[in-house]
Amino acid sequence: MSDALRTRHGKTLSLVIPMHDEAPVLDLLFQRLDETLGGLGVQLEIVCVDDGSRDDTWARLQARAARDPRLRLIGLSRNFGKEAALTAGLEMCRGDMVAPLDADLQDPPELIAEFISLWEQGYDVVYGVRADRSSDTRAKRWSAGAFYQLFNVVADQAIPASTGDFRLMDRAVVEALKRLPERNRFMKGLFAWVGFRQVGVPYTRPLRAAGSSSWPYRRLFRFALDGMTSFSTAPLRVWTLVGVGSAVVALLAALAIVIRVLVVGRDVPGYASLMVVILFAFALQMIALGVLGEYIGRMYQEVKGRPIYLVRDRVGFD
Ligand code: UDP
Ligand code: MG
């Protein structure tokens, strides 16, 4: 790598940790962070973003921040979702290196030492690759696999399979991310879109340390749809092809019928086949309208230009 002289010496690492109802895991989390990150030789800044937790996550964080000057807290005014919470943290952190991390210890902080070494070698983004997803349910693994395949076929910018938000980024990358104004924050896609020198590090994803996941399937589906539509217009364009295709088929069928009537004479009135064609065409139109609706809905979101998140409270920022 060209600038191999990067050094961690005197640099600050920001951890950005989005939290939604994570009170049960907080003690474990900070204990692990202390065990693993103490000897890294960098300054630490721990940015915790409380994403509208209903439990006592915020109170516990505050108590901890009073004793620990490395902590900076951002409390969002309600639950805005993980992507928005991450965005808030990325915008407000100040480190030379920035690592987003799940609060539930599913992103092992031990890996960060290796991330930093690779960063020193000149990589701007070092991302974790989930080598073994056996901690996820089969349904989740299957749907995630299907999603990545489909995404990478249709999207303008491929994302490496089995990556999450767990990574280490150079300040330059974070500044680039801050320039992407879209409200639809599909972070994995945005991370890939900005480019820079990237490298993956495989790891095994452990089970959630405590508490429970905040991603019901309904939400995951929404998330997948958001990702797809914000990084690809293929679902929009495919309907032109489908339309042209069905028009050609309809024309050929019409021609065949006319010729048949001319040659063999009038046929028995084809009620059934007529219904089939009408229903099929109707279904196609509905799907096409639905696809248009998805994109128009997103445009509406963007046009309104509402902020991605609202901050209720901040601790440790001057
Ligand atoms: N999270 C968040 N806001 C939400 C949902 C989740 O900030 O609305 C955080 C959560 O606290 C955790 C991370 O995002 O730190 C990953 O969430 P979770 O473990 O529930 O997801 P999973 O690992 O099951 O995909
Ligand atoms: Mg988790």
Close Cβ partners of 98 (under 8 Å, ≥ 6 residues apart): 13, 14, 16, 90, 168, 169, 171, 173, 174
**What is the 239 CA–ligand 1 centroid distance (Å)?**
35
Could you tell me if residue 143 is inside a domain?
Answer: yes
Do 247 and 184 share a structural domain? no
- Compute the mean pLDDT over every residue in the chain, rounded to the nearest whole number: 85
Model pLDDT, residue 85? 95
> Can you give the length of the chain in residues?
318
Could you tell me if residue 223 is inside a domain?
Answer: no
Contact in structure between 95 and 12 (CB atoms under 8 Å): yes
Q: Report the 10 Å Cβ neighbour count for 179.
A: 7
pLDDT > 70 in the chain, percent: 97
Do 269 and 143 share a structural domain? no
> In ligand 1, which atom is closest to the CA atom of 213?
20
Do 144 and 102 share a structural domain? yes
Do 185 and 53 share a structural domain? yes
> In ligand 1, which atom is closest to the CA atom of 164?
25
Do 311 and 300 share a structural domain? no
Do 126 and 76 share a structural domain? yes
CATH of the domain at 193: 3.90.550.10
> In ligand 1, which atom is closest to the CA atom of 20?
11
**What is the 19 CA–ligand 1 centroid distance (Å)?**
7
Do 11 and 159 share a structural domain? yes
Read off the pLDDT of residues 245-294 as tens digits, 9 standing for 90 and up: 887 887 888 788 888 888 887 766 776 677 777 877 877 887 888 888 88
- Is the model's pLDDT at 314 over the cut of 70? yes
**What is the 174 CA–ligand 1 centroid distance (Å)?**
21
Do 37 and 184 share a structural domain? yes
Higher pLDDT: 201 or 286? It is: 201
**Burial degree of 134 (CB within 10 A; 0-12, 13-18, 19+):** exposed
> In ligand 1, which atom is closest to the CA atom of 22?
11
- Is the model's pLDDT at 75 over the cut of 90? yes
Model pLDDT, residue 181? 83
* Ligand 1 pocket mutation, candidates 214, 218, 219, 221, criterion most atoms within 8 A of CB: 214
Task: Return the ligand number nearest the Cα of 222.
Answer: 1
Q: Report the 10 Å Cβ neighbour count for 279.
A: 10
Do 239 and 203 share a structural domain? no
d(CA 176, CA 62): 31
Q: What is the mean pLDDT of residues 169-180?
A: 93
Q: Please tell me the total count of domains within the chain.
A: 2
Could you tell me if residue 30 is inside a domain?
Answer: yes
**What is the 21 CA–ligand 1 centroid distance (Å)?**
9
**What is the 212 CA–ligand 1 centroid distance (Å)?**
9
Do 278 and 142 share a structural domain? no
Q: What is the mean pLDDT of residues 199-228?
A: 80
Residue nearest to atom 22 of ligand 1 (CA): 213
Confidence band, pLDDT 50/70/90 cuts, at residue 4 = low
Q: Report the 10 Å Cβ neighbour count for 194.
A: 19
Residue nearest to atom 24 of ligand 1 (CA): 213
Q: What domain range includes position 266? A: 234-304
d(CA 295, CA 239): 13
Contact in structure between 53 and 20 (CB atoms under 8 Å): yes
Residue nearest to atom 11 of ligand 1 (CA): 19
Read off the pLDDT of residues 31-67 as tens digits, 9 standing for 90 and up: 999 888 888 889 999 999 999 999 999 999 999 999 9
> In ligand 1, which atom is closest to the CA atom of 86?
7
State the pTM of this model: 0.74
| Cross-sheet strand order for the sheet of 12-19 | 198-204, 125-132, 163-170, 97-100, 12-19, 43-50, 71-76, 311-315
Q: What is the mean pLDDT of residues 151-162?
A: 79
